[in-house]
Amino acid sequence: MDKTKMKTREFEITFGGTLGNFVIKYDHKLTGPMNDQKLEEIQDNIYNYCDLTSLYLTEELLKEDNILNQLDLNLERFVTDFDYYYWTFDHKRTEFNMIIDWFSDQIGPIWNEMNTWFFGKPNFDNDDELENFMTVMDFGLNHFPKEKVSDENKWEDVLTCIKEDEDWDVKNSIKGIKKREHGFKGDVLDRDLQSDTCKMEVS
């Protein structure tokens, strides 16, 4: 028996994102050849990509030409000021929901393409299948200092940069969100942590 061969099993991968104090996650159930070590490695890599995606979408939100800049809100404070975030939830619920829905709508397609990157067919017919995902990666190439991103290992270097950026930690944001349960009232938590599950086969 080949000890290196992995058994086919059902496993779960979590995608996530942060927008200031807002945290969103998506639990993705798959079936395919997998062992615990490989699963841990893949999950950690996905969290790194999710950190980069969160940084990218936060900067997209704050651009002057983003339509949400027309709202009667300070978007920069929304993503940096803890108290202002919850003030917006309490007093500007419509605007709050518009921002969160924008973030959810933007991050969903990136998650789908990230899933294709990790679990889809080995060779893609064309790069259009990963257009949103590659936009995020290209953003990373241009965001971090040139001396930290080499031509030889550019993708790995981008992920190293995001791992070193302590402002972005989707993994611990998801783990820590439940600790807020006794600190805030009502359905704040319902929108703080959105979770869905789907199931598909690994090809």
Backbone torsion region of residue 10, taken as left when φ is above 0, otherwise alpha when ψ lies between -120 and 50, otherwise beta:
beta
The residue count of the chain comes to 203
Residue 60 lies in a domain: yes
- Side-chain half-sphere CA neighbours of 59 within 13 A: 11
Whether the CB-CB separation of 135 and 114 falls below 8 Å is answered with no
CA-CA distance, 192 to 96, in Å (whole number)?
11
Residue 160 lies in a domain: yes
In degrees and rounded to multiples of 5, residue 160 shows phi and psi of: -65, -40
CA-CA distance, 139 to 133, in Å (whole number)?
10
Q: Which two tokens stand for residue 115?
A: 């899933």
Residue 113 lies in a domain: yes
Q: Flag residues of the chain having pLDDT under 70.
A: 1-4, 121-128, 178-203
Rg of the chain over all Cα atoms, to the nearest angstrom: 18
- 35: DSSP letter: -
The structure's pTM equals 0.82
Residue 3 lies in a domain: no
CA-CA distance, 116 to 31, in Å (whole number)?
14
Q: Residue 53: name the closest of 155, 134, 149 by CA.
A: 134
CA-CA distance, 4 to 153, in Å (whole number)?
28
153-171 residue pLDDT tens: 888 899 899 988 888 899 9
What domain range includes position 46?
Answer: 8-201
pLDDT value at residue 192? 44
pLDDT value at residue 179? 59
In degrees and rounded to multiples of 5, residue 193 shows phi and psi of: -125, 100
pLDDT value at residue 67? 94
Q: Residue 162: name the closest of 64, 4, 18, 8 by CA.
A: 18
Instruction: Please count the structural domains in the chain.
Output: 1
pLDDT value at residue 122? 55
pLDDT value at residue 83? 93
Residue 94 lies in a domain: yes
Residue 191 lies in a domain: yes
Residue 2 lies in a domain: no
Q: Residue 118: name the closest of 10, 198, 202, 55 by CA.
A: 202
Residue 1 lies in a domain: no
